[in-house]
Amino acid sequence: MNANDVNIENSWKQILAEEFEKDYFSKIKEHIVDDIKSGNTIYPPGKLIFNAFNLTPFDKVKVVIIGQDPYHAPGQAMGLCFSVPRNIPVPASLKRIYKELKEDVGIQIPNHGDLTTWAKQGVFMMNAILTVVKKSPGSHKKIGWQEFTDNVIKKISDKKTGIVFLLWGNFARAKKPLIDQHKHFILEAPHPSPLAGNGFFGNHHFSKTNELLIKQSKEPIEWQV
């Protein structure tokens, strides 16, 4: 397999070209194809697997939010961590992100969960695992995706400067060693899930992110969606 076989935005295609040619990436594709042949439904739909990359080209990345794996219920996964399409009920974790957003920067809580507007402004929202089997959370955590996405994080760290990484929860925090802290900013908090308690609240990550961007003469993020 090579980069031309992957439906991904051109700047990412060039940055990640060597990854697409590695054996592990071919095995990811084989595993997904085998799952589909076995009658399994895979989320997100094929055209949305690289949605985070397609909406946020490499040269536009200013902020990185790392999720775990996609939503596994029908219609939810859209290739952006924490985000769901407009016609889908807002998941619990995103409701709590919105609550913190309102408390932090005064934004009115929206009636939908589509975070595409963030992505288009340079917020790269990548799950560490890019696919999942319907109603089977974590089902693709061992097929090779994490090798790929760890390398994505390393590429961002190596080739860019001044990126704000938002690491929410232990899973995301475990990616910290991949990031050069001398070149980038890392903001950490507990996961926004209700299962993680209330530690997420009061982190002020949205205002802090914009302060860090402004200090670098970068456009702040308009967090209203």
Catalytic sites, residue numbers: 69
**Please, are residues 220 and 213 in contact by the beta-carbon 8 Å criterion?**
yes
DSSP SS3 for 101:
helix
Inter-CA distances, 47 with 7, 44, 94, 198, Å: 7, 8, 23, 35
CA separation for the pair 132, 70 (Å, rounded) = 6
User: E-assigned strands of 98-175?
Assistant: 123-127, 132-133, 164-168
- Amino acid letter for position 133: V
Place of tokens 């860019």: 160
User: E-assigned strands of the chain?
Assistant: 42-43, 63-67, 123-127, 132-133, 164-168, 185-189
CA separation for the pair 90, 84 (Å, rounded) = 7
Q: What tokens appear for 149 in the block?
A: 């996405």
CA separation for the pair 105, 209 (Å, rounded) = 11
The sheet that has 164-168: what strands, in order across it? 123-127, 63-67, 164-168, 185-189
The alpha carbons of the chain give a radius of gyration, in whole angstroms, of 17
